[in-house]
Amino acid sequence: MIKRVEDLTNIKKLLDIFSVVAILGVRQCGKTTLSKEFNYNYIFDLENPNDLVHLDNPKLALEDLKGLIIIDEIQRKPDLFPIIRYLVDNIPDQKYLILGSASKDLIKQSSETLAGRIGYYQLSGFSIHDIGINNLKKIWLRGSLPRSYLAKNNESSWIWRSNYITTYLERDLPQLGINIPSNTMRRFWTMLAHYHGQLLNYSELARSFGISDMTTRKYIDILKGTFMIRTLQPWYENLGKRIVKRPKIYFRDSGIFHSLMSIEKTWELLSHNKLGASWEGFALESICKSINIEDEAFYFWSTHSGAEIDLIWQYRGKKWGIEFKYKDAPKLSKSLKIVSGDLDLSHVWVIYPGEKKYKLAKNITVLPLRMVPVKWNYV
């Protein structure tokens, strides 16, 4: 069993502060296994028909319980939130750990009903620190979902992911009340994979798929809300330059992306025309987990003249940037110099798959992904 020390530590901190903690993340990312690491007294799985029936009368089922109570797949019964609010307000001995496969925007009742009482923790699959730096190529190819990563070989991992995608489309989306034919969403999802790491043109995608812009945005919001994709919005600053204003899109799990692109083996990945985009998306997710801020706080910047940087965020009143390069030894580019100066970035890191850390300029450092710390180091 792979220990997820950082995730456990962060969730424990939230449990010390809030009466209710929600662990949200894509299905099969390890939420249930991780929650059982805590000293809980009761667990309800809302995919178990007996537990679902048991909570038909939630006040009667929950009011006499003490200690930590886990409720799994909470999105299946969002009407529990008001009663949970009542119970934690009136029973000091109760705490709740609720698990869900949809974002808090899709489970609106939680943020509205439990305001001030609930802390959120977004869980992805294994991090590069969970599995060790010697396994970077393996987790890049297979993705971070535990059962895919831990499969006995690449073929087993491939088969598991293929079935995972089918289950997501045919069962998970309908359970969230999203009634889109699975074959329609599969074709849309596959088409979207070709935009991985690129600017997203809603109109172009809508025309290609034969749907409206509004429907395209709806489908993308669904995939974002179920943690399947990430969109980065452009950073705006009044610099007198023509700024790219369209978002960039990434599949959050590299293994799912590879399945959609029919990449099963390492040699297929290394010879694929999406190699650079795949590396960028994989490294970006690893970095975002290390930086550990809200998804909405990450941006990119690009001008029509060609100057760009893949990731920007703010911390303690300063701006920081990252560029991702699948190269043996990245060099100082004209674009990096322009971006660093124009945006007044405190520091820029170039993340690459190599072994050595070195300086390109006073405030620009090349950093191997294997050297990225568990918590981002701004020094």
- Give pLDDT, residue 283: 98
Q: Which two tokens stand for residue 73?
A: 């797949």
Q: Residue 379: pLDDT above 70?
A: no
Predicted local confidence at residue 241, as pLDDT = 67
pLDDT at 358: 96
Tell me the domains of the chain and their CATH numbers: 5-122 (3.40.50.300), 133-371 (no CATH)
Burial class (CB in 10 A: 0-12, 13-18, 19+), 20: buried
Least confident span in 10-24, 125-139, 172-186, 271-285: 172-186
Q: What is the pLDDT of residue 238?
A: 61
Tokens representing 130 are 């969970």
Report pLDDT for 34: 96
The tens digit of pLDDT for each residue in 201-250 reads 999 999 988 889 998 998 898 899 889 999 999 998 766 567 788 999 99
**Is the alpha carbon torsion for 249, 311, 349, 316 positive or negative?**
negative
pLDDT tens for 262-290 read 999 999 999 999 999 999 999 999 999 99
Would the pLDDT of 133 be above 90? no
Inform me whether the pLDDT recorded for 180 exceeds 90: no
Question: What is the pLDDT at residue 340?
Answer: 87
- The sign of the CA dihedral 83, 86, 90, 92 is positive
Whole-number pLDDT of residue 239: 60
- Residue pLDDT, tens place only, 45-66: 998 999 999 999 999 999 999 9
Q: How confident is the model at residue 370 (pLDDT cuts 50, 70, 90)?
A: very high
Which amino acid is located at 35 in the chain? Answer: S
pLDDT band of residue 301 (cuts 50, 70, 90) is very high
Q: What is the pLDDT of residue 24?
A: 93
Mean pLDDT score, 292-309: 88
Residue 158 or residue 342, greater confidence: 158
pLDDT exceeds cutoff 90 at 253: yes
Gap between the Cα atoms of 29 and 230, Å rounded: 16
Amino acid 181: pLDDT: 85
pLDDT of residue 112: 77
The pLDDT assigned to 184 comes to 86
The mean per-residue pLDDT over the stretch 135-143 comes to 97
**Mean pLDDT, rounded, of the chain:** 91
Task: Identify the pLDDT of residue 274.
Answer: 96
Q: What is the pLDDT of residue 353?
A: 96
How far, in Å, CA of 178 to CA of 18, rounded?
31
% residues pLDDT > 90 (the chain) = 70
**pLDDT value at 106 more than 70:** no
E-strand stretches of the chain: 20-24, 42-45, 67-72, 94-100, 118-122, 198-199, 229-234, 248-251, 299-302, 308-315, 318-324, 347-352, 358-361, 364-368
pLDDT at 260: 95
Average pLDDT over residues 365-377: 93
pLDDT tens per residue, range 312-355? 999 989 999 999 999 999 999 888 988 888 889 999 999 999 99
